[in-house]
Amino acid sequence: MRQILVVAILIATAIGWPAPPRAATPDANAPGPATPEASSSDIDGETMFATSCGWCHQQGGRAAGRGPKLAGDKKSDDALIDRIKRGKPGAMPAFGRAFSDGQIIAILAYIRSLDDAGN
């Protein structure tokens, strides 16, 4: 009996019941439809970095390894994105096919979240 109740609750939750209350009138001051924007929280740049980049860019990009330290990198966003997408023959693999643009932005956001001291 208890199991049936649990299953019923799970199904109800899955179909979104009880429905959340809807705002009666749209807020005139509300911003328009949100522009999809990648952030390190909706696509986890830190995790992607740890799995794909961390073995060369040590300590999550905070220290040099096979690749340079990325924390506090002074180059432009475009330069970093270009390097991530195209890599460098013989030094760093290209990730332009492995990751979507949004994912690369999320990885860049993660790199930019590290300060020069690597905190």
Distance of closest approach, residue 67 Cβ to ligand HEC, in angstroms: 3
* CB of 67 or CB of 118, closer to ligand HEC: 67
* CB of 46 or CB of 95, closer to ligand HEC: 95
Dihedral of the alpha carbons of 82, 115, 106, 36, in degrees to the nearest 10: -110
* CB of 92 or CB of 109, closer to ligand HEC: 92
Among 56, 47, 44, smallest CA distance to 87 is for 56
Beta bridge partners of 92: 88
Distance of closest approach, residue 66 Cβ to ligand HEC, in angstroms: 5
Interacting residue ranges for ligand HEC, rule: CB under 6 A: 52-53, 55-57, 66-68, 70, 73, 75, 80, 83-84, 88, 91-93, 95, 107
Helices (H), the chain: 2-14, 45-52, 58-61, 77-86, 101-113
* CB of 42 or CB of 82, closer to ligand HEC: 82
Distance of closest approach, residue 36 Cβ to ligand HEC, in angstroms: 21
Distance of closest approach, residue 119 Cβ to ligand HEC, in angstroms: 19
Among 59, 62, 64, smallest CA distance to 92 is for 64
Token couple for 19: 């429905």
